[in-house]
Structure 1
Amino acid sequence: MMSCGGDQRPQASAKPVFSEAQACAVVESVFGFKVSKIQPLPSYDDQNFHVCVSRAKHTTDGPMEYVLKISNTESSKNPDLIEVQSHIIMFLQAAGFPTASVCRTKGDNITHLMSVDGGSEIKSYLVRLLTYLPGRPIAEIPIRPQLLYEIGRLAAELDKTLEKFHHPKLRCLHRENFIWNLKNVPLLEKYLYALGQDRNREVVERVIQLFKDEVVTKLCHFRECINHGDLNDHNILIESRKSAFGDAVYHVSGVLDFDDMSYGYYVFEVAITIMYMMIESKDPIQVGGHVLAGFESIIPLTPVERGALFLLVCSRFCQSLVMAAYSCQLHPENKAYLMITAKTGWKHLQLMFDMGQKAVEEIWFNTAESYQSGISM
């Protein structure tokens, strides 16, 4: 059985580089589908393809669009973790969440480990095939308060539902050195060199120190749960429908990318969600209150959790911005995708820091409380 704990993921050689022809061959040989069209999808350190397949003779139902996921070499060393993540996707779908279906291989497995001769070494990659979910990423639309509220509610419902999830390898989600778990913010120090020396780095260093002083000591008071850990503006899909008044009303049609799941805390999930919903907003500071209101309609935070929320949101900005800068040095060809958060992220982090915790909290908490009184702001 493989070790599950120490997966510090950033690696220079981790990302797969399959061609479209190679990806086609995988779908056809491993999963038994005839590919009619394939194209790459943006990704962080794995490789994803949108795959259209031809219907088998004598069949008129079943999906025709899939996503082929090829895990990076580091993640592929941890098949137990990917198995647990896949079972979580299936569990959530059965519970009514808009997650993908996991397709089985011709050998009736949910993953397949394939080896590729890279010339100097043999590299192994875990591959999965998921159904393709409809909708557009939230990043593509202006987000209104009601949708922010629904996303906060979704985050809480997801964590609450996973309280009932059981699996013999569930311990794999205790990812002690996982760089994207919010409790591991101090691990960012080894990547700070990627920022150079400027005000951005000074703010990050200050956040890391505050995290050590004010959050690490409180972790034992936070309520633990399984976190999705990456409810960002590209991992939540939405579709629109016409309201009775004729305008477009958006609803969540898909939740993607469960690769960053780990044991964390309820307050981590809402902090991560707030940070990513701020990215695309023209009024970012207002975002937190609407997301918090939705989250707390399912899971009210305790006073100690609420007191850490500001610093946790700042900390997630730091994780995203530092690791994007670091990853750009490793994969300059993927810079456009890696720097999505950085376009507005530094500005939002500086704004939060300049305003200070008390002023930001006042806006968030007043907005959240306005929902309880029936007057959303």
Structure 2
Amino acid sequence: MRSIKAPQLDLEPVADHVLDHYGLAGEWHQLGGEREQNYRLVTAAGEKFVVKIASLEEDEESLIFQAKALEHIEQVDPALQVPRVRRTIAGDLLSSISAGEGRKHALRVLSFVAGETVMDLLSRRGFNLSTDDLLSLGAAQGRLARALQGFNHRSALRPIPWDLANGLVLGDWLRDYIPEEIRQDVDRALEHFAGSTLAALPRLRSQVIYNDFHESNVLVRAEPSFEVAGVIDFGDMVYGTIAQDLAVAVASFIHWSPEPVAAAAAVVRGYQRHMPLEAADLAVLKDLVLARLILQ
């Protein structure tokens, strides 16, 4: 898989650009980022934003897809805590910042969503999620899936590595990463996936799905009780089955329970509070979870 590295622009031209194009100024704080250069900006009024500078290799149309999805969610479910798009003074979803030698990076400004990631919470309080925690996580994902209903964009059909439906999990390259002691079991699981599971996917309910509901993208508050505070990073959205979307979450969160089957059931029950599943969705869910576990 091709790796995209984050750019490394100096802060001063970034701050000048954001002031000129978005009318925002304040205190700047560097944030981490695998594919994008990220800053948190806190204005004098206390507003918090994330400024995201994309790699030159990033597809600008994909960034527009993400921005339009976020605006759709804001219209459909305004209380759902996802980043809000801050348009430029001219009303554009993105702007372009020069990096010299004719190179231009796409730049976005989003609202900052407060909370700690599930992974940070697990690290802090012990690596365990209760049934109630898992129900809350499943419900939050179901609510997000419901909010994305009715939205579409041509970039939803682009090929991405983490789309289970594209068959990447069946590639020979993956075998090099599978431990010898489980390779036979993995081969059997993938043989089944390549047959009946992939063949069933085109007949299932599909829509634009978030496709990345895991420990590092879900923000929570633990006090006074566990609560999902928001969801970030919409870069892996794709047009796919509802079952596939749910499988990503199940595969991510069953690690954090001593009873993985019960944990999976809790996530599914929570999801169905907002997105009831059909028998056909449930019929392929286990296979999709196994495929995601193998791929990740």
- Tell me which interval the TM-score lies in, with the shorter structure as reference length: 0.7 to 0.9
Aligned to 2:205: 223
Give the drift of 1:130: 0.8
Q: How does 1:172-191 map to 2 (within 5 A)?
A: 172-175=155-158, 177-186=159-168, 189=171, 191=173
2:180 aligns with 198
Partner of 1:153: 139
**Matched AA of 1:80:** E
Distance in 2 (alpha carbons) for counterparts of 1:85 and 1:155: 17
Contact 2:169 2:294 in 1 (8 A): no
The amino acid across from 1:234 in the alignment is S
Q: How many residues align?
A: 287
Q: Distance in 2 between matches of 1:101 and 1:173?
A: 20
Query: Residues of 2 paired with 1:117 and 1:38: CA distance?
Result: 23
Task: Name the CA distance, whole Å, in 1 between partners of 2:222 and 2:178.
Answer: 43
Say whether the 8 Å CA contact 1:54–1:64 is kept in structure 2.
Answer: yes
- How far apart, in 2, do the equivalents of 1:202 and 1:123 lie? 48
TM, length-normalised to structure 1: 0.68
Q: Which residue of 1 aligns with 2:82?
A: 99
Which residue of the other structure, out of 81, 84, 93, is the alignment partner of 2:62? 81
1:226 deviation in Å? 1.4
How much has 1:213 moved relative to structure 2? 1.2
Name the % identity.
Answer: 21
Aligned to 1:314: 290
The partner residue of 2:111 within 109, 120, 131 is 131
Counterpart for residue 257 of structure 1: 233
> For structure 1, which runs of at least 5 residues remain unmatched after alignment?
1-9, 243-248, 321-377
Residue 262 of structure 2: aligned partner: 286
Give the C-alpha shift of residue 19 in structure 1: 4.6
> Does the 8 Å contact 1:99/1:255 carry over to 2?
yes
**Structure 1 residues 236-266: Cα deviation after superposition (integer angstroms, max 9, x where no partner):** 1112443xxxxxx121111111111111011
Taking a change above 3 Å as real, the CA distance of residues 193 and 270 of structure 1, as seen in their structure-2 partners, is closer
**Alignment RMSD, CA only?**
2.6
Cα shift readout 1:267-317 (whole Å, capped 9, x = no counterpart)? 111111111112444443331010011122333323332121111111112
* Conserved 8 A contact 1:145-1:287: yes
| Alignment-mate amino acid for residue 128 of structure 1 | R
Match of 2:28 in 1: 37
Which amino acid in the other structure matches residue 102 of structure 1? V
Q: Which of 186, 190, 193 is equivalent to 1:211? A: 193
Aligned to 2:125: none
Matches of residues 289-368 of structure 1 in structure 2 within 5 Å? Answer: 289-320=265-296
Matched, 1:15 2:1: no
Bigger shift: 221-230 or 197-206?
Answer: 197-206
Give the structure 1 partner of residue 18 of structure 2. Answer: 27
Deviation at 1:31, TM superposition (A): 3.0
Structure 2 alignment gaps of length 5 or more: 123-127
